[in-house]
Amino acid sequence: MAKPISVNAGMIRQLATEDYRVKITPVIKPHAIVIADPDLKGSYPQLPGARTEGRAVKDILDANGYSVVHKEGSSAAEIMLSIFSDTYKIVHLAAHGAFNPEPDKPRGMMIGPNAWFTSHEFHQMSTVPELVFVNCCFLGKSDGEAEEYYRNRYKLAANIGTQLIEIGVKAVIVTGWAVEDQAALSFTRVFYDN
């Protein structure tokens, strides 16, 4: 009998951590936010593939009874206002991402020129989504030295995936490598369809 591809190919990693929120305020209503290709105002190339992905996710969630806030090409201020002004059961992010082990370098999801959505912002969320899908390059990448520095200095994770698990998100999908548009779209559609 053939083994599942996830066993043979090592597609799934599980993270266990001793740092986590004890009290979690869950989201009850079927509400989601999809942030796709924020407006970078020419500071970095826009991502048409992320826009396509965002529309596909919105359509699938709409068809399944979710109320969806769809932020496509939005400014950093609009994104921050949307994230923190409501509660979401599902958060889907499709944009540029960066992981830099040096603490003074940008890291997180790029939401505008010199504007980043980081593990700090996720830590600030008062309610905890059940699912966060982060389709941004490198945001699940781990670096032991960076993690130790952030833990000691900021009491946060250096990596967004780790931070999401620590705030109590039940299911986290985050990439630790560069994201190719067509593969990302295919994986996203199959995931949400099923």
Three-state DSSP at 26 gives strand
Res 57 pLDDT > 90: yes
- Residues 150-173: pLDDT tens digits? 444 444 444 677 778 888 888 888
Span 116-137, mean pLDDT?
Answer: 87
Centroid of chain to Cα 26: 18
- Chain segment 59-75, per-residue pLDDT in tens: 999 999 999 999 999 99
pLDDT recorded at residue 193? 92
What pLDDT, on the 0 to 100 scale, is given for residue 158? Answer: 45
More confident residue, 161 or 12: 161
Task: With a cut of 80, say whether residue 85 has pLDDT above it.
Answer: yes
Interstrand relation of 67-72 and 90-95 (parallel, antiparallel or unpaired): unpaired
Q: Give the pLDDT band of residue 126 (cuts 50, 70, 90).
A: confident
Q: Binning pLDDT at 50, 70 and 90, where does residue 178 land? A: confident
**Amino acid residing at 172:** V
pLDDT at 18: 58
Question: Would you give the distance in Å from CA 92 to the centre of its chain?
Answer: 6
Q: What is the pLDDT of residue 139?
A: 52
* Model pLDDT, residue 10: 52
pTM summary value: 0.81
Structure tokens at 35: 């942030």
Percent of the chain surpassing pLDDT 70: 74
Cβ contact 33:162 at 8 Å:
no
Quickly count: other Cβ atoms within 10 Å of residue 111's Cβ: 27
Q: C-alpha distances in angstroms, 72 versus 33, 34, 81?
A: 11, 8, 14
Mean pLDDT across 5-22: 54
Cα–Cα distance, 130 to 89 (Å, whole number): 5
d(CA 52, CA 55): 5
How far apart CA 175 and CA 118 sit, in angstroms, is 15
What letter would DSSP give residue 72? Answer: E
Q: What pLDDT is stored for residue 38 in this prediction?
A: 97
The CA distance from 39 to 51, in Å, is: 11
- Average pLDDT, stretch 179-185? 86
Q: Place 181 in a pLDDT band, splitting at 50, 70 and 90.
A: confident
